[in-house]
């Protein structure tokens, strides 16, 4: 059972996610029946799966939800916000159950309240309006009781006749499952699989859905078109264990049924042609229903993330060896070796791209839970908010994705709670009642940016400064000299909360500093801009990947250091005479800008003689809009390296963000430029 459990959980999550997405769509287009159909399908599949897996509560709740949806579909109930609230609650409860199952729980949960609510919505329903499937299934069941043969509609009849004319045999295969069979649905599934191999399944009684839910006694009948003989089919099906008996009889068309066809006789050729065309489709549909437990045969496979990590680690080892090989071939300077190594380098960089891409996940996996959250929050806060998501397909490394969810939730809550004003205030300020929040993700260079923009109240720099001073975060003097932008940064200081009223949504002042820490620990940065009265924008910059980076290797005396290319603007060589003194700081005039110099030799206490050379090699790096010139002894070149942590024992070394292993097997330290620029 456990091997199914994983699939079950994964798929349930997918269906629930699609339910919530579609529900949000439905709220915007309440008239669109196709959306209801989509939700219905997801809910239905979920019901079938959970019943098969034995999660009764899950199946019951889904069933109730399905009934309500069915009413909407049939036009008995109209879509209202209150109704959707209840359905959303139901989906939430379902999600909670699935995650409880995932964590090894029973998936049981008290859902009587929600079921009650759903039921109240459901009542007033006209019992005559059942789903077609149910009607036909029950009709068929009745028919079977009477005659032992069940009825077909015109279309099915046409298909049956058509195939008979083409030399196929039509059978009704009645299969009895043994009484003591434990997993009836599984046996049914196996029988279907065999029958599908023999030919096309036209119809089954009870319906496929009911069979999947094990809602049948011990017997079910399948109408099959096949070229095989009845005996063959019977023997094949009997190979499935726990099957008691198989009766395979040829379908005989009664005169009545044949007569039914007569009135349409004139158009028959056309109709037949159509029927032939439709047949494979119909068969496919049946198949699909029969196979709901299997994922559609799309060309993706699920791979455990641990395996990808192992692959990544192995590849990192390979990159290190590649570096070593490149160095050896340079030293030996053998033509053939050089060519081979070059080829290998090319292949391994392709390989690197593929492996990195495999670990890339669209940010949608994080973004997709936001619409529902925003909707709920907006209702709790009595605000009208429209969330727009742009660039959800932007891809990021898995490790980043896993970490970025919580900070984003926090920033969004913040925008909703503090940013967007209440409708009354907005009207008073001459804005639209509905507030807009935009969540935008895009690639730029080696980074991914995520922006959260609201058109709310914005921030008041002076108010922030006063607040910070009163909280003791800032001194009065320091406060006076802050630029507005610096003042906005204050909200990231720990122990800072601007909400006048503390709500449970945000505003305990423990959040934004954590947000900043999380983002910085991912090698990213967060910045903020705001215009009072017209909104704020939070911009998060994240690295594409965390494990392989491009660096510039430099010599400082005998030691080698690596500077990430992402923070380098350019390299330069300046004369001693071009270095100017500003107070105690050495600076240069670089393209019209005053850039302070950082002597890495001093910062890192590199042992070695002070060389009095006439020229200085500089690496100009930046952090945001600020720049600095790092003084090094010699440039070595650019290289792809694997980022390795220094380990927890040495985790807080100043201005060093990690280490890497060079081609010659030595360790080089990676300079953290962000720490060098204040």
Partner 1 sequence: MSEESVLNAEAVKVIVFQHGDKEYALPVQEVKSIEKVQHITRVPGTAAFVKGVINLRGVVTPIIDLRTRFNLDEEEFTESTRMIIAFSNEEEVGLIVDAANDVLDIKKEWFGPQPEVVGTIEADFIQGIAKLDKRLLILLNLENILNPEDLKDNQGKS
CB 355, min distance to partner 1, A: 17
One residue of 167, 336, 649, 678 binding partner 1 per CB under 8 A: 649
Contact stretch for partner 1 (CB under 8 A) within 93-101, 540-548, 629-637, 639-647: 639-647
Radius of gyration over alpha carbons of the chain, in Å?
34
Residue 628 within binding range of partner 1, rule CB under 8 A? no
Nearer Cβ to partner 1, position 211 or 355?
Answer: 355
CB 312, min distance to partner 1, A: 13
Residue 609 within binding range of partner 1, rule CB under 8 A? no
Could you check whether the bond before residue 206 is cis, i.e. omega within 30 degrees of 0? yes
What amino acid positions are annotated as catalytic residues? 44, 66, 414
- Considering only residues 558 through 577, tell me which ones interact with partner 1, judged by CB under 8 A: 559
Contact stretch for partner 1 (CB under 8 A) within 147-155, 341-349, 447-455, 651-659: 651-659
Residue 318 within binding range of partner 1, rule CB under 8 A? no
CB 655, min distance to partner 1, A: 7
One residue of 237, 669, 673, 674 binding partner 1 per CB under 8 A: 669
Q: What share of the chain is helix, strand, coil (3-state, %, to 5)?
A: 50, 25, 25
Q: What are phi and psi of 122, to 5 degrees?
A: -70, -35
Residues 449 and 486: their CA atoms lie apart, in Å, by 21
Residue 474 within binding range of partner 1, rule CB under 8 A? no
Contact stretch for partner 1 (CB under 8 A) within 224-232, 283-291, 498-506, 661-669: 661-669
Residue 328 within binding range of partner 1, rule CB under 8 A? no
CB 403, min distance to partner 1, A: 21
Nearer Cβ to partner 1, position 548 or 659?
Answer: 659
Task: Count the residues of the shown chain that bind partner 1, applying the rule CB under 8 A.
Answer: 26
Q: Which two tokens stand for residue 18?
A: 């699609």
Residue found under tokens 């959980």: 9
Nearest C-alpha neighbor of 30 from the set 81, 66, 76, 104: 81
CB 318, min distance to partner 1, A: 11
One residue of 247, 344, 525, 655 binding partner 1 per CB under 8 A: 655
CB 558, min distance to partner 1, A: 10
Residues 488 and 495: their CA atoms lie apart, in Å, by 15
Contact stretch for partner 1 (CB under 8 A) within 69-77, 197-205, 354-362, 647-655: 647-655
Nearer Cβ to partner 1, position 587 or 646?
Answer: 646
Q: Does an H or E element contain 388, and which? A: strand 385-390
Q: Does an H or E element contain 439, and which? A: strand 435-444
Residues 23 and 393: their CA atoms lie apart, in Å, by 21
Contact stretch for partner 1 (CB under 8 A) within 63-71, 474-482, 532-540, 644-652: 644-652
One residue of 659, 663, 672, 673 binding partner 1 per CB under 8 A: 659
Residue 555 within binding range of partner 1, rule CB under 8 A? no
Residue found under tokens 């914005």: 458
Q: Which two tokens stand for residue 214?
A: 């094990």
Task: Lay out the site mask for partner 1 across 175-214 (x = CB under 8 A, - = otherwise).
Answer: ----------------------------------------
Nearer Cβ to partner 1, position 135 or 314?
Answer: 314
Residue 320 within binding range of partner 1, rule CB under 8 A? yes
CB 516, min distance to partner 1, A: 23
Torsion of CA 198, 202, 207, 211, to 10 degrees: 0
Residues 561 and 661: their CA atoms lie apart, in Å, by 11
- Give the number of other CB atoms < 10 A from CB of residue 433: 13
- Supply the DSSP string of 29-75, one letter for each residue: -TT-HHHHHHHHHHHHHHHHHHHHHT-HHHHHHHHHHHHHHHHHHTT
Q: Does an H or E element contain 311, and which? A: helix 305-332
Residues 544 and 397 sit within 8 Å (Cβ to Cβ) = yes
Task: Lay out the site mask for partner 1 across 579-608 (x = CB under 8 A, - = otherwise).
Answer: ------------------------xxxx--
Nearer Cβ to partner 1, position 242 or 559?
Answer: 559
CB 313, min distance to partner 1, A: 9
The distance from CA 380 to its chain's CA centroid, rounded to whole angstroms, is 26
Residues 26 and 46 sit within 8 Å (Cβ to Cβ) = no
Task: Lay out the site mask for partner 1 across 276-315 (x = CB under 8 A, - = otherwise).
Answer: ----------------------------------------
Residues 333 and 476: their CA atoms lie apart, in Å, by 66
Q: 292 CB contacts (<8 Å, ≥6 apart)?
A: 45, 48, 49, 212
Nearer Cβ to partner 1, position 280 or 608?
Answer: 608
Nearer Cβ to partner 1, position 101 or 668?
Answer: 668
Nearer Cβ to partner 1, position 622 or 644?
Answer: 644
Q: Residue 493 to residues 185, 513, 529, 571: CA-CA distances in angstroms?
A: 58, 6, 16, 34
Strands 385-390 and 435-444: parallel
Residue 610 within binding range of partner 1, rule CB under 8 A? no
Residues 117 and 270: their CA atoms lie apart, in Å, by 50
One residue of 264, 280, 608, 665 binding partner 1 per CB under 8 A: 665
- Supply the DSSP string of 192-222, one letter for each residue: HHHHHHHEEEEEEES-HHHHHTT-S-SEEEE
Residue 551 within binding range of partner 1, rule CB under 8 A? no
Footprint on this chain of partner 1 (rule: CB under 8 A): 316-317, 320, 559, 603-606, 644-650, 653-656, 659, 661, 665-669
């Amino acid at each position: 059972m456990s091997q199914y459990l994983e699939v079950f959980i994964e798929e349930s999550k997918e269906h629930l996610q699609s339910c919530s997405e579609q529900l949000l769509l439905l709220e915007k287009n309440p008239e669109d029946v196709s959306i209801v159909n989509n939700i219905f399908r997801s809910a239905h599949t979920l019901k079938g799966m959970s019943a098969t897996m034995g999660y009764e509560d899950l199946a019951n709740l889904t069933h109730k939800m399905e009934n309500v949806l069915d009413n909407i579909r049939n036009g008995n109930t109209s879509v209202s916000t209150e109704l959707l609230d209840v359905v959303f609650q139901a989906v939430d409860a379902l999600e909670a159950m699935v995650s409880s199952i995932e964590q090894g729980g029973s998936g049981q949960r008290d859902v009587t309240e929600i079921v009650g609510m759903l039921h109240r919505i459901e009542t007033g329903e006209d019992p005559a309006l059942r789903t077609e499937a149910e009607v036909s299934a029950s009709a068929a069941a009745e028919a079977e009781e009477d005659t032992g043969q069940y009825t077909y509609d015109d279309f099915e009849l046409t298909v049956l006749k058509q195939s008979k004319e083409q030399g196929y045999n039509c059978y009704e295969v009645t299969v009895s499952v043994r009484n003591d069979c434990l997993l009836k649905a599984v046996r049914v599934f196996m029988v279907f699989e065999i029958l599908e191999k023999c030919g096309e399944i036209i119809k089954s009684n009870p319906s496929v859905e009911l069979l999947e839910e094990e809602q049948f006694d011990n017997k079910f009948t399948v109408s099959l078109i096949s070229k095989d003989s009845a005996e063959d089919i019977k023997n094949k099906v009997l190979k499935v264990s726990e099957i008691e008996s198989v009766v395979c009889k040829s379908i005989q068309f009664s005169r009545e049924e044949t007569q039914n066809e007569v009135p349409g006789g004139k158009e028959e050729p056309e109709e037949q042609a159509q029927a032939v065309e439709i047949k494979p489709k119909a068969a496919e549909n049946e198949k699909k229903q029969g196979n709901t437990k299997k994922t559609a045969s799309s060309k993706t496979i699920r791979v455990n993330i641990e395996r990808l990590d192992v692959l990544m680690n192995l590849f990192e080892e390979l990159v290190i060896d590649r570096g070593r090989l490149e160095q050896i071939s340079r030293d030996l300077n053998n033509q053939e070796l050089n060519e081979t190594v070059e080829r290998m380098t090319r292949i391994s960089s392709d390989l690197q791209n593929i492996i990195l891409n495999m670990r890339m996940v669209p940010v949608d996996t994080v973004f997709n839970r936001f619409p529902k959250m925003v909707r709920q929050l907006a209702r709790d806060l009595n605000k009208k908010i429209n969330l727009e998501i742009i660039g959800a397909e932007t891809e990021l490394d898995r490790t980043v994705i896993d970490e970025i969810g919580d900070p984003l939730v926090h920033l969004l809550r913040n925008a909703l709670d503090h940013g967007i004003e209440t409708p009354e205030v907005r009207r008073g300020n001459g804005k639209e009642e509905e507030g807009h929040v935009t969540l935008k993700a895009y690639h730029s260079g080696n980074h991914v940016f995520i922006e959260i923009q609201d058109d709310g109240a914005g921030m008041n720099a002076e108010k922030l400064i006063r607040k910070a001073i009163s909280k003791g975060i800032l001194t009065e003097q320091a406060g006076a000299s802050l630029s507005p932008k610096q003042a906005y940064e204050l909200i990231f200081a720990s122990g800072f909360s601007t909400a006048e009223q503390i709500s449970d949504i945000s505003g305990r002042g423990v959040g934004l500093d954590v947000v900043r820490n999380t983002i910085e620990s991912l090698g990213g940065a967060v910045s903020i801009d705001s215009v009072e009265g017209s909104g704020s924008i939070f911009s998060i910059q994240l690295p594409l990947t965390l494990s392989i980076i491009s660096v510039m290797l430099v010599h400082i005396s005998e030691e080698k250091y690596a500077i990430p290319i992402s923070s380098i603007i350019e390299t330069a060589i300046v004369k001693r005479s071009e270095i100017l003194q500003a107070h105690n700081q050495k600076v240069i005039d670089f393209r019209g800008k005053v850039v302070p110099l950082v002597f890495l030799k001093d910062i890192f206490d590199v042992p070695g003689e002070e060389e009095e050379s006439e020229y200085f090699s500089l690496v100009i790096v930046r952090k945001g809009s600020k720049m600095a010139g790092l003084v090094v002894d010699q440039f070595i070149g650019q290289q792809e390296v694997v980022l390795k942590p220094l380990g927890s024992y040495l985790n807080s070394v100043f201005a060093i963000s990690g280490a890497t292993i060079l081609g010659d097997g030595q360790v080089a330290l990676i300079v953290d430029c962000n720490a060098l620029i204040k």
